[in-house]
Amino acid sequence: MTPVTEAPSALKLTDRINRIEPSATLAVTAEADKLRQQGIDVVDFGAGEPHFATPSHIKEAAIAAIQGNFTKYTAVGGTAELRDAIVHRHAVDFDSDYRREEATASVGGKHALFNAIQILVEHGDEVILPVPYWVSFKDIVRYAGSNCVLLNTDESQNFRLTARMVESMITPRTKLIILNSPSNPSGAVMSPQDMTEVMRLAHERGIWVISDECYVYLNYTERRFSVGSLREFRDHMIIVGSLSKTYAMTGWRLGYALAPAPIISAMQKLQSQSTSNPTSIVQKAAVAALKGPQQCIVDMRAEYIRLRDHVVNGLRAIPGVQCTLPEGAFYAYPNVSAFFGRGGVNSAADLAGKLLREAHVATVPGEGFGTTDHIRISYATSMAELNRGLDRMRRFLGSL
């Protein structure tokens, strides 16, 4: 009898798809889901998304859009109304002065990053990427045919990136620098002075900078900052933003970019041959988010700070765990290397695997973010869940 599923030996995929790996964070979510389907009660510290519901005024705008039949194609980069709202919000909050032609909407921030990187870099270019990095940066760059030059940060300095560190990595082939402040996964925040200095360096050398601002509203230092305020350096600057974390809208898929008009046009050209416009209904919801009351951001930020303090204290109280204080985003990035060599654990991946399968706590191993000694814990969850997860971790790590 012929086997039902024959090995697809004839399947020859492209080099570019073989160059990249599936997202490590989505892989953890999938494995945790599988356990849950078996009836196992998993505490989820894996998913990188707010536990808050999308605010009601945003949901109502989407419902009104459906009822009003706003359900057809729009311009590829979003409606003029949405692009104006993006520009307006950024100008009010960060003192930028973009025009509509310098703004485009996408199907999530990841999509905007993908488009920007595909149009900017190719084989032979170097892209400076600070470590630890958000999983997708490296693979998006690789898909574009280029490679990242990894820039290690120092855990004892809270993984903070400085302009001097960036400068030391610049070569004549450097095409792009990727900044992500606050950072996923470390929560590190760059100082406004260092960000300004990086922009100056890049401007002087004609190097592009992508500033991923997906967590820009979740900055717990005294000063919320965007490079968009540095108007004199904007000719080589691409700002990528997202409504996902800011307004608890991860599933809606709405991101954006602010950049010089020729960059925006090229990104839209690529988008016109792939997804076309972001969902029309979501665009109406996004306008409501950007132009409506902003109190929801203030409230969520205050709660994240409370959760951060709780999880960091809880982790630091576990013997063997070291944890820096994240200054933004909603992740803790504890060092768990003290457990290597105990109970069959030899890496962060081993530890995260055992934590999930044996203690039923989902975390993401640091290998996906470019470091070997850490696991990422998303604390965007309720205080009760944090306590349940911390308890399980304490017991499990204590038993190793």
Ligand X SMILES: Cc1ncc(COP(=O)(O)O)c(C=O)c1O
Classify burial at 249, counting beta carbons within 10 Å of its beta carbon; exposed 0-12, middle 13-18, buried 19 or more. buried
Kindly tell me which residue out of 212, 220, 234, 369 binds ligand X, with binding defined by CB under 6 A. 212
Kindly tell me which residue out of 46, 55, 108, 366 binds ligand X, with binding defined by CB under 6 A. 108
Contact range with ligand X by CB under 6 A, out of 11-19, 30-38, 103-111, 374-382? 103-111
The Cα 87–Cα 68 span in angstroms is 25
The smaller minimum CB distance to ligand X, of residues 140 and 318, is found at 140
Written as one letter, the residue type at 70 is: F
Provide the minimum distance between the beta carbon of 242 and ligand X in the complex, in angstroms, as a whole number: 3
Q: Do 307 and 380 touch, CB atoms closer than 8 A?
A: yes
Kindly tell me which residue out of 104, 196, 250, 378 binds ligand X, with binding defined by CB under 6 A. 250
Provide the minimum distance between the beta carbon of 350 and ligand X in the complex, in angstroms, as a whole number: 24
The smaller minimum CB distance to ligand X, of residues 258 and 359, is found at 258
Written as one letter, the residue type at 59 is: K
Provide the minimum distance between the beta carbon of 32 and ligand X in the complex, in angstroms, as a whole number: 16
The Cα 64–Cα 62 span in angstroms is 5
The Cα 54–Cα 162 span in angstroms is 35
Kindly tell me which residue out of 115, 242, 363, 381 binds ligand X, with binding defined by CB under 6 A. 242
The Cα 240–Cα 357 span in angstroms is 36
Q: Is 217 in the site for ligand X (CB under 6 A)?
A: no
Written as one letter, the residue type at 317 is: A
Structure tokens at 335: 């060092």
Structure tokens at 325: 């204080």
The smaller minimum CB distance to ligand X, of residues 48 and 78, is found at 48
Contact range with ligand X by CB under 6 A, out of 105-113, 117-125, 225-233, 271-279? 105-113
Provide the minimum distance between the beta carbon of 140 and ligand X in the complex, in angstroms, as a whole number: 10
Q: How many residues at the interface with ligand X, by CB under 6 A?
A: 13
Provide the minimum distance between the beta carbon of 134 and ligand X in the complex, in angstroms, as a whole number: 4
Q: Is 284 in the site for ligand X (CB under 6 A)?
A: no
The smaller minimum CB distance to ligand X, of residues 210 and 359, is found at 210
The Cα 203–Cα 230 span in angstroms is 11
Contact range with ligand X by CB under 6 A, out of 78-86, 92-100, 102-110, 390-398? 102-110
Instruction: Write the CB contacts of 98 (distance below 8 Å, at least 6 apart in sequence).
Output: 87, 90, 91, 228, 258
Provide the minimum distance between the beta carbon of 14 and ligand X in the complex, in angstroms, as a whole number: 24
Phi-psi category of residue 138: left, alpha or beta, with phi > 0 → left and psi -120 to 50 → alpha? alpha
Task: Give the per-residue contact string, 40-69, with ligand X (x = CB under 6 A; - = no).
Answer: --------x---------------------
Q: Is 110 in the site for ligand X (CB under 6 A)?
A: yes
Q: Do 329 and 360 touch, CB atoms closer than 8 A?
A: no
Q: Do 314 and 392 touch, CB atoms closer than 8 A?
A: no
Residue 210 DSSP SS3: strand
Q: Is 138 in the site for ligand X (CB under 6 A)?
A: no
Provide the minimum distance between the beta carbon of 52 and ligand X in the complex, in angstroms, as a whole number: 15
User: Kind and range of the H or E element at 365?
Assistant: strand 364-365
The smaller minimum CB distance to ligand X, of residues 255 and 314, is found at 255
Residue 287 DSSP SS3: helix
Provide the minimum distance between the beta carbon of 48 and ligand X in the complex, in angstroms, as a whole number: 4
The smaller minimum CB distance to ligand X, of residues 112 and 318, is found at 112
Kindly tell me which residue out of 79, 96, 180, 226 binds ligand X, with binding defined by CB under 6 A. 180
Q: Is 370 in the site for ligand X (CB under 6 A)?
A: no
Instruction: Write the CB contacts of 292 (distance below 8 Å, at least 6 apart in sequence).
Output: 55, 57, 58, 61
Cα 384 to its chain centre, rounded Å, is 25
Residues in touch with ligand X (CB under 6 A)? 48, 108-110, 134, 180, 184, 212, 214, 242, 244, 250, 255
